[in-house]
């Protein structure tokens, strides 16, 4: 039976925060947040779902200038809590703005109603370390940052400590990045052998698109030619080729792409050149040699789990043995900076399964690990799978997160970047761990938004970062975005428009 939670908010512009916080407290519910203007249509839709046998709860939030009230028509930690109304009286002298005050009220109300706390408190953004980083830049001490994160956002001490540790490491790692006169480059290859159950990224099955790959590369090179000219007076710091799965390209196609890339851009100051090989079933010795020949310094071989039954469920066609063989082949080819991605909370996996995966990965001894908490994306097949099998089959806990962290520590790795996503299993986070000298600089840059990242290919998003100086001398950051269309055919057909979008962005 599907379980719905219908949330009505009296004012617009708060829907995102309400949805994120409510969903974190009720991960087993399909949460619908609407304003009063759209409530009638949404109720009609949900009425249909309810009459089909779905369980239904409601929260009504009335926002006023002087505060807010919440009526909780949903079970609390004891049945008698259903139907209670909670009120918040805004205190102007509190020092927080209205939105911050409301988020505090919403979080503390749900905490009291459900009897549970969230590890990240009422933080709804994806970059907790950005808060810690900013406070460090203001000259705050580690203890002062911990205090603010706990008092203002109700973040647990453990997560606040993690944020501060990572922010301090990020500052040191980015010390030699050219923020003002530099940029990083992302190139998207939107093809995969198959689409994984949990994936919502822009990716298309290579088997259905093989006859369009060359044309796609033609357009990608057109975009590269424009960007190389536009950014000729800038310093290129990092290059990242992702997807999709870049190694779905044939060796000659990889060589065509990489040779043109190296011919167009000045790599003399590039600190990191990453290719996300990713899927073991797309990795061959010939492809690895091409990557090595053209100066790729960092690659990924991503198992997600080392449990074969789970790989079968999530649609990863590469076997555990293929992952091991691909990793060893990469080492034999000479790669000394190999990342492996893992996902915690995959269907049916237990703490022992996670421990087994960590043990198997430790035997391979990669240079970095990216540990993801499974996120249920609405556009993924996983969303439907959860409706059919129940969210309780996705178990990510403090124990499993600790297993991964301890495994990384035993491999000599430190946490160096962190981000969160909506609807994450266990309301946890994604953490990158690496050995000293093997940190992924691009990963930090894309999260902290301190440098312009020019993104090429279908579904990619360019972020232009500019420093703004006000009349009083204060400095702020302006971030402007420019998106490419997601669908491959549209990208090919409209490539001149994609280039024009960048031209407009950079001329502003």
Query: Residue 307 sits in a domain of what CATH number?
Result: 3.80.30.20
**266 & 367 share domain:** yes
Asked whether the whole model's pTM tops 0.95, one would answer no
Number of residues assigned to the chain:
508
**155 & 186 share domain:** no
Place of tokens 């000659």: 252
Classify residue 363: in a domain, yes or no.
yes
**201 & 90 share domain:** no
pLDDT tens digits for 219-263? Answer: 999 999 999 999 999 999 999 999 889 999 999 999 999 999 999
**152 & 185 share domain:** no
Question: What pLDDT, on the 0 to 100 scale, is given for residue 81?
Answer: 62
Q: What is the mean pLDDT of residues 447-463?
A: 95
Q: Above 90 in pLDDT, residue 354?
A: yes
Cross-strand partners of 469: 475
Classify residue 491: in a domain, yes or no.
no
Domain boundary among 129, 150, 173: 173
Lowest model confidence (mean pLDDT) among 241-255, 301-315, 460-474: 460-474
| Most confident of the ranges 48-57, 328-337, 446-455 | 328-337
**188 & 220 share domain:** yes
**24 & 151 share domain:** no
pLDDT tens digits for 25-58? Answer: 988 788 888 887 676 666 666 665 666 556 778 8
CA atoms in the 13 A half-sphere facing the CB of 406: 10
**185 & 227 share domain:** yes
Classify residue 440: in a domain, yes or no.
yes
**95 & 165 share domain:** no
Whole-number Cα distances in Å, 505 to 188, 373, 483, 498: 19, 34, 10, 11
Q: Above 90 in pLDDT, residue 80?
A: no
DSSP class of 374: P
> Cα–Cα distance between 248 and 204 in angstroms, integer?
11
Classify residue 273 by burial, with Cβ atoms within 10 Å: 0-12, 13-18, 19+: buried
Classify residue 84: in a domain, yes or no.
yes
Classify residue 270: in a domain, yes or no.
yes
Classify residue 186: in a domain, yes or no.
yes
More confident residue, 137 or 196: 137
Residue 92's pLDDT band, with cuts at 50, 70 and 90, is low
Question: What pLDDT, on the 0 to 100 scale, is given for residue 79?
Answer: 61
Q: Above 90 in pLDDT, residue 89?
A: no
Question: What pLDDT, on the 0 to 100 scale, is given for residue 313?
Answer: 85
More confident residue, 333 or 389: 333
Lowest model confidence (mean pLDDT) among 191-200, 430-439, 498-507: 191-200
Q: How many domains does the chain have?
A: 3
Question: What pLDDT, on the 0 to 100 scale, is given for residue 34?
Answer: 85
Contact 139, 104 (CB under 8 A): no
**326 & 392 share domain:** yes
Question: What pLDDT, on the 0 to 100 scale, is given for residue 395?
Answer: 73
Question: What pLDDT, on the 0 to 100 scale, is given for residue 424?
Answer: 74
Mapped to the 3 state alphabet, what secondary structure does 168-183 carry?
A: HHHHHHCCCCCCCCEE
Mean pLDDT over all residues of the chain? Answer: 89
Lowest model confidence (mean pLDDT) among 161-165, 181-185, 230-234, 318-322: 318-322
Classify residue 472: in a domain, yes or no.
no
Lowest model confidence (mean pLDDT) among 130-134, 390-394, 484-488: 390-394
> In a 3-state reduction of DSSP, which class is residue 286?
helix
Question: What pLDDT, on the 0 to 100 scale, is given for residue 52?
Answer: 56
Q: Above 80 in pLDDT, residue 16?
A: yes
Contact 22, 110 (CB under 8 A): yes
Place of tokens 């800038």: 234
**205 & 302 share domain:** yes
**210 & 336 share domain:** yes
**372 & 448 share domain:** yes
Question: What pLDDT, on the 0 to 100 scale, is given for residue 384?
Answer: 65
Radius of gyration of the chain (CA): 24
Question: What pLDDT, on the 0 to 100 scale, is given for residue 368?
Answer: 98
Range of the domain at 148: 120-173
Kindly state the helix (H) or strand (E) to which residue 229 belongs, with its residue range. Answer: helix 213-230
Q: Above 90 in pLDDT, residue 397?
A: no
Question: What pLDDT, on the 0 to 100 scale, is given for residue 54?
Answer: 63
Question: What pLDDT, on the 0 to 100 scale, is given for residue 383?
Answer: 64
Domain boundary among 157, 173, 189: 173
Classify residue 400: in a domain, yes or no.
yes
C-alpha closest to that of 105 among 122, 93, 88, 91: 88
């Amino acid at each position: 039976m599907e379980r719905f939670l219908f949330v009505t908010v009296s004012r617009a512009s708060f829907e995102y925060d309400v949805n994120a916080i409510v969903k974190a407290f009720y991960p087993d519910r399909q949460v619908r947040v609407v304003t009063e203007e759209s409530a009638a249509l949404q109720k009609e839709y949900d009425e249909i779902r309810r009459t089909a046998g779905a369980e239904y709860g409601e929260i009504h939030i009335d926002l006023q200038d002087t505060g807010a009230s919440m009526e909780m028509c949903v079970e609390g930690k004891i049945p008698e809590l259903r139907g209670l109304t909670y009120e918040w009286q805004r205190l102007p002298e509190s020092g927080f703005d209205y939105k911050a005050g409301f988020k505090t009220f919403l979080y503390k109300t749900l905490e009291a109603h459900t009897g549970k706390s969230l590890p990240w408190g009422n933080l709804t953004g994806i970059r907790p370390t950005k808060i810690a980083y900013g406070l460090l830049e203001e000259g705050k001490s580690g203890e002062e940052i911990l205090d603010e994160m706990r008092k203002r956002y109700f973040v647990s001490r453990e997560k606040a400590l993690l944020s501060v540790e990572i922010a301090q490491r990020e500052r040191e790692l980015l010390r030699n990045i050219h923020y003002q006169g530099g940029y990083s480059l992302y190139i998207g290859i939107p093809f995969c052998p198959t689409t994984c159950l949990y994936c919502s990224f822009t990716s298309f099955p290579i088997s259905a698109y093989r006859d369009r790959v060359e044309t796609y590369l033609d357009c990608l090179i057109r975009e590269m030619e424009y960007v190389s000219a536009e950014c000729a007076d800038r310093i290129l710091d990092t290059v990242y080729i992702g997807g999709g799965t870049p190694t779905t390209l044939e060796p000659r196609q990889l060589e065509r792409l990489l040779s043109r890339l190296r011919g167009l851009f000045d790599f003399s100051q590039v600190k990191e050149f990453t290719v996300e090989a990713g899927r073991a079933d797309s990795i061959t010795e010939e492809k690895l040699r091409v990557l090595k020949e053209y100066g790729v310094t960092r690659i990924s071989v991503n198992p997600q789990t080392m449990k074969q039954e789970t790989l079968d469920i999530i649609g990863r066609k590469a076997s555990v043995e293929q992952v091991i063989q691909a990793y060893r082949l990469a080492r034999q080819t000479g790669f000394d900076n190999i990342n492996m991605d893992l996902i915690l909370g995959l269907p049916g996996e237990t703490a022992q399964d996670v421990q087994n995966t960590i043990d198997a990965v430790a035997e391979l001894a990669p240079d970095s690990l990216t540990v993801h908490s499974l996120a249920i994306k609405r556009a993924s097949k996983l969303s439907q799978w959860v409706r059919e099998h129940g969210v309780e089959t996705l178990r990510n806990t403090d124990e499993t997160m600790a297993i991964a962290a301890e495994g990384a520590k035993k491999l000599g790795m430190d946490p160096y970047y962190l981000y969160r996503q909506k609807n994450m299993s266990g309301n946890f986070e994604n953490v990158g761990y690496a050995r000293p000298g093997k940190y992924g600089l691009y990963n930090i840059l894309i999260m902290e938004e301190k440098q312009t990242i020019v993104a090429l290919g279908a579904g990619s998003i360019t972020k232009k970062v500019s420093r703004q100086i006000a009349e009083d001398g204060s400095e702020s950051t302006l971030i402007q975005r420019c998106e490419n269309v997601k669908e491959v055919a549209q990208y090919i057909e409209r490539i001149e428009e994609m280039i024009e979008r960048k031209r407009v962005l950079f001329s502003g």
